Amino acid sequence: MSQLTFQEAVIQGISEEMERDERIFHLGQDIGPIYNGAMHSAKGLGAKFGPRRIIQTPISESAMVGAGIGAALAGRRPIVQLMFAEFLGLGLTPLACDAAAMWYKSDGKVSVPLVIRVLYGAGPHRGHSEDYQAWVASVPGIKVAMPSTPRDAKGLMKAALRDNNPVVFFEHMALYHGARQEVPEDDYVVPLGAAEIKSEGSDVTIVATALMAQQSLKAAEQLRGEGISAEVVDPRSIVPMDVETVRRSVAKTRRLVVVSESWKTGDPLSDLTASIAEELAGEAPLKIARVGLQNTPRPFAMPLVRAAMPNVQTITEAVRRITESN
Amino acid sequence: MSQLTFQEAVIQGISEEMERDERIFHLGQDIGPIYNGAMHSAKGLGAKFGPRRIIQTPISESAMVGAGIGAALAGRRPIVQLMFAEFLGLGLTPLACDAAAMWYKSDGKVSVPLVIRVLYGAGPHRGHSEDYQAWVASVPGIKVAMPSTPRDAKGLMKAALRDNNPVVFFEHMALYHGARQEVPEDDYVVPLGAAEIKSEGSDVTIVATALMAQQSLKAAEQLRGEGISAEVVDPRSIVPMDVETVRRSVAKTRRLVVVSESWKTGDPLSDLTASIAEELAGEAPLKIARVGLQNTPRPFAMPLVRAAMPNVQTITEAVRRITESN
Amino acid sequence: MTPDANLLTSLYHLVAKGRVLESLLGKLPGFHPGVGEEGVVVGAFFGLKDSDYIAPHYRGALLAAHMRGADLRRLIAGVLGKVTSYSRGRVRGDICLPLQFNTLGMFSGVLGNPLNISTGIALAASLDEKQGVVVTSFGEGTSNLGAFHESLNLAACLALPIVYICQNNGYAMSTRTDYALKCTSIADRAQGYGMPGIRVEGNDVVAMHQAVQSAVARARAGEGPTLIDAVTYRISGHYSADPNDYQPKDERASWLKKDPLLLLKARLTAQGVMTDAQLAEIEKAAEAEITEAIAQAQADPDPGLEVLGPDDLYSPVLERVA
Amino acid sequence: MTPDANLLTSLYHLVAKGRVLESLLGKLPGFHPGVGEEGVVVGAFFGLKDSDYIAPHYRGALLAAHMRGADLRRLIAGVLGKVTSYSRGRVRGDICLPLQFNTLGMFSGVLGNPLNISTGIALAASLDEKQGVVVTSFGEGTSNLGAFHESLNLAACLALPIVYICQNNGYAMSTRTDYALKCTSIADRAQGYGMPGIRVEGNDVVAMHQAVQSAVARARAGEGPTLIDAVTYRISGHYSADPNDYQPKDERASWLKKDPLLLLKARLTAQGVMTDAQLAEIEKAAEAEITEAIAQAQADPDPGLEVLGPDDLYSPVLERVA
Ligand SMILES: Cc1ncc(C[n+]2csc(CCOP(=O)(O)OP(=O)(O)O)c2C)c(N)n1
Ligand SMILES: Cc1ncc(C[n+]2csc(CCOP(=O)(O)OP(=O)(O)O)c2C)c(N)n1
Ligand SMILES: [Mg+2]
Ligand SMILES: [Mg+2]
């Protein structure tokens, strides 16, 4: 066990898997030992694995994703770092239209074991915070991981690297160099598609990922002081979505607050909300509240950035709104 | 009034607006008088308006969208035809990351009056049926029209061409050369963001767009014979979404069936469902059922294409499922 | 290098077969036939190792896949969406090819993706150090996509073992090459990537084959990618239902004289490799084989709902790595 | 063409101002300064008409916008996210510019978009027949994006009035030009689009200005686009916090000798246009002006929540057209 930041945990996961599996290599802009990747997202990997496994590319996101897909088809297990989720659109067409469909359309003859890494989220960077998760999450065949803690980040990265399908791995910039956590050094994985109840409770279910999961935990703590017992569920992967864990929680609390740093239209958590409503709202009343990003482009000035996003206050308000009334 | 197909109605709308407004021009591959656009999507326009207003481009979707944005910034009102929604991803980055944000980020100094036309939907074509509507609908600042009838198609196209914001206009291939409808020749528009109740009813609300709206109307007819009165609401535009009209209908019926030809995760109709549940499920039980595209890539053989999609039978089944029980 | 009789004969078999295949499939609805472009296809993909990869342009793709060992009947069944096809009807078999033959097709309708993806296959080949190469082809219209630029540049930077062949048939749908490309030759684009750019008469299958083979040798030797502009002409319409009435008559007529099958036949008879009768024999055999394959494929059943695979979205997860 | 004293003086004012601006802003967190590249920026955008459009590369963008008439204090307020900025703090002012000065910036962090979009502005200009032109610049790293290829090709096909300038500073973050581009000059890429490609010493602001102006004249005359490879060097790190310890010492030293400000000063004194003292005067004035503008901008208030504009998503719909 060691105390790692989110960024260190991701790197440790990659490094362990690269040692274990010769087929893994890492492609990206400026990920070599000189620059070590945007925000040190590839720190130490270039020095350790050399330029044949840590391969720098020109600024060509579409070719980078395509190259990852092709190498995966030919037996490798590539990681492609696209710096920021903001650039996902440039590589989306080969990923979503072709790679995502290959297993199904080839009738199980070929698969694409490919991990795409992206930074996102309102953090220290000026901009680049957009997640555009709907672009990849909306297309069947792509898995999407969105961890909230160092431990989950490492375990999910290891799972992603052992997965035979394309996985887009979101790394939140506000968590990246943030709080350290005990992270096991042994061979654990956090499976894709397994939510975790981060805090148990009985009055209301809060669902959130990444930074919003952290904010929700803070909100839950505050609410506990007010006598409201909130259960915080972190899906950890957006696709596959562990609807079942959320359903069980909401079946118990009959109150659901969904917190998202994304825009609601097209948010995979909106689909989760709809699924829960479809399953649980038919027999008895079900209280639902959603807290999301302001429905405009992301502003720039920090006071505006903060005000456009959910935070502990807006989360607790939403919880109170649906718990008060009975 | 004349009897027009969907395709003829779209062209008539464009043609009328082009006559009225010199600033409008049309960009696309093979849209000139030789080929008249994929599926005759630009039929007659090249002959009528000539090569300075009907401009053919190389196969360069990203530059085409970018060119539309730039021309819009410089005072024109471009239409860019991307043939199929399948190619939206190639032009998504300039559209979603830049154009969609320009009004907000410039603090109202610049706007982007741009219409992007795409064909989609399981129809006569081999493939090209994917809609990827989540890619554009999930980003604030882009409007999305998805008409189900010739009359709506013309009216929405005219509204789109008078709108000051980027609008993505979806043209369903199975409706394209299908049933004719009386379409007014006068200056009507169908506003973006205004749902229409296509068939009134009191037991259940069915929400659907485009081909699925047509299927839902057939389903409603069949259900009427069984004594179930279904109200069919067609949002007509996916963004802005007329939540209010749907809410009013569901407040009356307390039963909602959402039919989509798209995948659920990231489907804007999932967000609609979540919104309705958020507003209406808290006080009393609310029955919800969703019928969507099979959660795999679209298959190719016709029997598989059909079986993967919602149809009259699966719609009526869903309605029965949530009406039976009380 | 004068080609020997064996090579000429092999090429002839393939071009003749290609002609029949493209002509007959061109009658099926929605097919994009490559009549007149068989020289490019055969020249591009003949003479590779089984372990090499190809990523053929969609026009002529079935001929290419067949050259790699894929069964004609099953390929054609793929065009028709029959259950006997390699994907059991799940994918458009006219443009998507069975990858088990190291042959990449289009898994969507989006041009350009195979350019990117085949570049990645070449990246894997370069890491494997088994001296495998990739040969990929695409239309001149497709060369205007960003995917072309990014792929060629990436391949040049990493000195990848790949040959890029532009099947330059003068048209992209109804758009003429001289409208959409203002360079003299697509080979002019090579300089921007610091790689060799070569223009070849694509209808001369021998010249085509030789140009590709030297680029392949270069790639195999680790000297990096090459761009080849293979000049040909689209005799067919864009697809079956295209009246193709927009090609200038004289242009068309002059190209009909340069038909790759005619050129090859003339060479075979001139060099005394085969007589007209022998040539006709081979064409007859090809016709019979393909007619039979089409008939069989047409008689094959549609997929049943067991192929629908609603739960077959993901490849099973590897529990442990090897 | 020997430049006259007036031109030299004007250029000097701008280069000197640019140097101060880039150096001082380079101390703000996250800024991407263009020290050493001011010759390219000034040469590219000097001498245009107000009705022309520019789309400058993000590195040096504020200098370019200021050359178009934008107020320094408000521009700098944009870098800091202050309410006095042109967007009231809604957008990253380091890379996004006020379009009311016919100056396009980046509305997102994605490189390449301005290439596509400025090509569209040129399309509008060509339709307007007012002989407006567009001058756009971008890094050599950015020239590896598909957007570059598609834009230049489209502009060539439609003979658009646009000048593409590659601000080739030897690096893209830590990636050297010779790693990411295997062509000799970015100008080599022009041939693939059938447009002129010109290599210029970007640090020679006069040569730069002249090359751009002849391309502008060509564009204005309806003769279509030009690609200019403006060779320069990134003296600054990629951004404020980049230690920039990866540039070879000798390479850096040799480029420091070719500093555009030094070159221009040498010329001005050699030609007797100005004395060292006069030059120093101008630099001092620039320093004062910019220090003042920065101080003002820093003292400006942050935006209040009235700027948040949760309902300001859409431009109001036109009820009726004009
Ligand atoms: C990205 C993309 N844009 C447009 C199309 C529609 N389309 C299909 S074939 C074709 C023409 C392709 O021209 P070319 O590359 O020259 O190949 P050819 O058809 O001439 O063999 C077009 C535009 C497509 N499939 N993909
Ligand atoms: C599409 C895209 N990919 C990557 C980045 C991250 N990035 C920002 S600046 C930069 C380097 C750009 O290099 P160049 O175009 O040469 O401009 P320079 O920084 O040298 O002025 C990169 C890779 C980006 N902003 N956009
Ligand atoms: Mg072609
Ligand atoms: Mg650079």
DSSP letter assigned to residue A87: G
Nearest chain D residue to B21 by CA: give it: D321
Is the model's pLDDT at A32 over the cut of 60? yes
Give pLDDT, residue D195.
98
ipTM tops the 0.95 cut: yes
Give pLDDT, residue A125.
74
pLDDT digits (tens, 9 = 90+) for A43-60: 999 999 999 999 999 999
Domain spans of chain A, in order of start: 2-183, 196-324
Task: Give the amino acid at B302.
Answer: M
- The pLDDT-based confidence of B83 (bands split at 50, 70, 90) is very high
- The pLDDT-based confidence of D318 (bands split at 50, 70, 90) is low
Task: Give the amino acid at C171.
Answer: Y
Q: Are B203 and B228 in contact (CB under 8 A)?
A: yes
Task: Give the amino acid at C252.
Answer: R
Alpha-carbon distances of B67 from A143, C310, D65, rounded to whole Å: 33, 40, 22
Q: Are B210 and B149 in contact (CB under 8 A)?
A: no
Atom 20 of ligand 1: nearest residue by CA position: C172
Q: Which residues of B are catalytic?
A: 128
| 8 Å CB contact of D314 and B105 | no
Average pLDDT, chain C: 96
CA atoms within 13 A on the CB side of C105: 35
**CATH 3.20.20.70 for domain B2-183:** no
Of all residues in chain B, what percent are helix, strand and coil, respectively (each to 5)?
Answer: 45, 20, 40
- From the alpha carbon of C177, which atom of ligand 1 is closest? 16
Contacts of C146 in chain D (CB under 8 A): 145-147, 149-150
Listed in sequence order, the residues at least 6 apart from A165 whose beta carbon sits closer than 8 Å to its beta carbon are A103, A111, A112, A113, A141, A142, A143, C314, C315, C317
Average pLDDT for residues B44-54, to the nearest whole number? 98
pLDDT digits (tens, 9 = 90+) for A96-119: 999 999 999 999 999 999 999 999
In chain A, % of residues over pLDDT 90? 96
Average pLDDT, chain D: 96
Give pLDDT, residue C320.
47
Q: What is the signed CA dihedral for D287, D290, D293, D297, rounded to 10 degrees? A: -120
Distance (Å, whole) CA C185 – CA C261: 24
Distance (Å, whole) CA A264 – CA A258: 10
| 8 Å CB contact of B35 and C110 | no
Give pLDDT, residue D241.
93
Q: Are D169 and D181 in contact (CB under 8 A)?
A: no
Give pLDDT, residue A53.
98
Distance (Å, whole) CA C244 – CA C174: 8
Give pLDDT, residue C318.
67
Hey, which residues 104-143 in chain C have their CB within 8 Å of chain A? 104, 106-110, 112-113, 115-125, 127-128
pLDDT digits (tens, 9 = 90+) for B193-234: 999 999 999 999 999 999 999 999 999 999 999 999 999 999
Is the model's pLDDT at C319 over the cut of 70? no
Alpha-carbon distances of D251 from A35, D167, D234, D254, rounded to whole Å: 19, 18, 11, 5
A105: closest CA of chain B, how far (Å): 7
Give pLDDT, residue B156.
98
* Cβ contacts from A onto C, under 8 A: 168
C166 CA to middle of ligand 3, Å?
9
Contacts of D303 in chain A (CB under 8 A): 301, 303-304
Q: Which residues of A are catalytic?
A: 128
Distance (Å, whole) CA C277 – CA B151: 63
Contacts of C319 in chain A (CB under 8 A): 162
- The pLDDT-based confidence of B186 (bands split at 50, 70, 90) is confident
| 8 Å CB contact of B283 and A285 | yes
Contact B59 CB / ligand 1 (< 6 Å): yes
Is the model's pLDDT at C154 over the cut of 70? yes
Contact C112 CB / ligand 1 (< 6 Å): yes
C221 touches chain A (CB under 8 A): no
pLDDT digits (tens, 9 = 90+) for D218-264: 999 999 999 999 999 999 999 999 999 999 999 999 999 999 999 99
- The pLDDT-based confidence of A325 (bands split at 50, 70, 90) is low
Alpha-carbon distances of D14 from A167, D39, D59, rounded to whole Å: 49, 9, 16
Scanning the structure block, which residue is given the tokens 């799940």?
A: C90
C-alpha of B303 from chain center: 25
Alpha-carbon distances of D50 from C303, D10, D135, D164, D226, rounded to whole Å: 65, 17, 12, 18, 21
Give pLDDT, residue D3.
81
Q: Are D103 and D55 in contact (CB under 8 A)?
A: yes
| 8 Å CB contact of B62 and C146 | yes
**Mutation for testing the B interface, residue in D53, D87, D123, D128 having most B CBs under 10 Å:** D123
Helices (H) and strands (E) in chain C, counts: 11, 7
C145 CA to middle of ligand 3, Å?
13
Is the model's pLDDT at A138 over the cut of 60? yes
A72: closest CA of chain B, how far (Å): 19
pLDDT digits (tens, 9 = 90+) for B136-155: 999 999 999 999 999 999 99
Say whether A196-324 and A2-183 share the same fold: yes
Buried b (16+ CB within 10 A) or exposed e, C126-158: bbeeeebbbbbbbbbbbbbbbbbbbbbbbbbbb
- The pLDDT-based confidence of C1 (bands split at 50, 70, 90) is low
| 8 Å CB contact of D118 and B70 | yes
Average pLDDT for residues A148-161, to the nearest whole number? 98
For residue A243, give the nearest of A213, A269, A216 by alpha carbon: A269
Distance (Å, whole) CA B79 – CA B72: 10
Cis? peptide before A78, omega within 30° of 0:
no
Fold exhibited by the domain A196-324: Rossmann fold (3.40.50)
Q: Are A87 and A139 in contact (CB under 8 A)?
A: no
Domain spans of chain D, in order of start: 5-313
C248: closest CA of chain B, how far (Å): 12
Listed in sequence order, the residues at least 6 apart from A155 whose beta carbon sits closer than 8 Å to its beta carbon are A13, A188, A189, A190
- From the alpha carbon of D142, which atom of ligand 2 is closest? 15
pLDDT digits (tens, 9 = 90+) for A183-192: 998 889 999 9
D partners (3+ CB pairs within 8 A) are A, B, C
Is the model's pLDDT at D21 over the cut of 60? yes
C174 CA to middle of ligand 3, Å?
9
Nearest chain D residue to B28 by CA: give it: D154
Average pLDDT, chain A: 97
Give pLDDT, residue A50.
98
Identify the CATH class of C5-313: alpha beta
Give pLDDT, residue D1.
58
For residue B176 the two structure tokens come to: 């394209």
Atom 19 of ligand 2: nearest residue by CA position: D172
Q: Are B234 and B182 in contact (CB under 8 A)?
A: no
For residue A270 the two structure tokens come to: 């909106």
E strand or H helix at D63: helix D61-67
Average pLDDT for residues A146-158, to the nearest whole number? 98
Cis? peptide before A240, omega within 30° of 0:
yes
Distance (Å, whole) CA B70 – CA B80: 12
pLDDT digits (tens, 9 = 90+) for C46-62: 999 999 999 999 999 99
Distance (Å, whole) CA B255 – CA B322: 7
Which of A125-134, B268-277, D280-289 comes out lowest in average pLDDT?
A125-134
In chain C, % of residues over pLDDT 90? 96
DSSP letter assigned to residue D189: G
Average pLDDT for residues D5-34, to the nearest whole number? 97
